[in-house]
Amino acid sequence: MNATEPDPNTRGRWASILSDIHFWVPLAVLMGGLLLLRFIR
Amino acid sequence: MPPVSPSQFAPAIPDASRSKKLQLLGILSGFAAGAWLGAAEAPTKLVSIGISPMVISLIMVIGVFLARWSLPALILGTSSVRADVRRAPHLIIWALLAGCLWAVANTLTIFAIRDIGLSIAFPLWNSNSLLGILWGFLFFNELRQAGWRRWTGVLGGALVMCAGAALLAVASSTAAPAAHSLRGAWAALGAGILWGTMYIPYRKAYLTGMNPLSFVTFFTFGELGMMATLAITYLGLAPLWRELTSARDVLFWLMLGGFVWVIGDVFQQYAAKYVGISRGIPLSIRISCGLLWARWFGELHGRGVRPTRKSLEAPS
């Protein structure tokens, strides 16, 4: 495999994270928390 | 070629006694976490002497960062962390995400303490354990096979905590600062939601095999990065530096709070690992510690004694 090509395993891992609800739920809550902080500050 | 015995092909028999020991270890870790995490929150009361909540949170996070880079290194060295990164670099994202959630939640708690006091804010943000139970059930199949006794224990305990929190809020409402009380309550509830959700990446990382101490190590980068960004965005570099220098008298106490928090968090992570988030997190509830600190600061007597710079500098 060419050294400049992205490792398919790495790509697969990231794809599995980005399609995982366990990633998106905390991210959405984090965004909500940042908005709340902006509001109460 | 040596003969192969049939037992080599048999599925591994789970070691019941080892499993029991690990569960007990998880339960004890949960209790220990409650004590240490509760103690770590006390310095946040310094917001009463006029230090910016952003600055308090940033200094605590710096304390956490220093502690986490020293404590895990003292216990395990750094080779296990490097091995974890080489084996599964993608797991770092869970630790970073959890760190960002923690930093925002911690900042919200400081606003809550400023606006409604420790005695009300503490029980409100400890509602995170209820969310922990919900996420554990929904996302990690926890308690699905549990009998009615375990369900009664977990839900009964959670309801007792909520009832206690409600009673506490009513009983101490006269002691709370009146202005911005709604804003403070939102801040405390928001912190509870963020902290309750933080256990999703915790559990996710452990299920995929990450060592708790490696997790803690990368967690600090998310935490410090998020907090530094927030402090610079909201205050600006020069005003932030001025605030930091003016808070130098209390730097030690705030950083100590961060250090104590790390010890509690390591216990909490072992609790999440060995007994799950639905049982481990309620065990580490720190309402009792919050009450002790609220009593220490005179909130429960309606006196609302505020610490002063002078009292903090005096030898105890």
CB contact at 8 A, B200 and B136? no
Whether pLDDT at B87 is above 50:
yes
Claim: this prediction has a pTM higher than 0.80: no
The answer to whether residue B313 sits within a structural domain is: no
Task: Give every CB contact of residue B235 below 8 A, 6+ residues apart in sequence.
Answer: B52, B54, B55, B243
Q: For B200, which of A26, A33, A34 is closest by C-beta distance?
A: A26
ipTM: 0.82
Q: For A33, which of B108, B139, B183 is closest by C-beta distance?
A: B108
Whether pLDDT at B284 is above 80:
no
Whether pLDDT at B27 is above 90:
no
Whether pLDDT at B168 is above 70:
no
Q: How far apart are the CA of A17 and the nearest CA of chain B, in angstroms?
A: 8
Provide the domain limits for residue B112.
34-301
| pLDDT value for B214 | 78
Residue contact B190–A33, C-beta within 8 A = yes
The answer to whether residue B10 sits within a structural domain is: no
Residue contact B104–A34, C-beta within 8 A = yes
Whether pLDDT at B275 is above 80:
no
Task: Give the gyration radius of chain B's Cα atoms.
Answer: 21
- Structural domain count of chain B: 1
Q: How far apart are the CA of B305 and the nearest CA of chain A, in angstroms?
A: 24
Q: Does B230 touch chain A (CB under 8 A)?
A: yes
| pLDDT value for B108 | 93
CA-nearest residue of chain B to A16? B90
Q: What is the pLDDT confidence band of residue B295, given thresholds at 50, 70 and 90?
A: low
Query: Could you tell me the two tokens for B246?
Result: 């003016």
The answer to whether residue B41 sits within a structural domain is: yes
Q: For A27, which of B97, B183, B187 is closest by C-beta distance?
A: B97
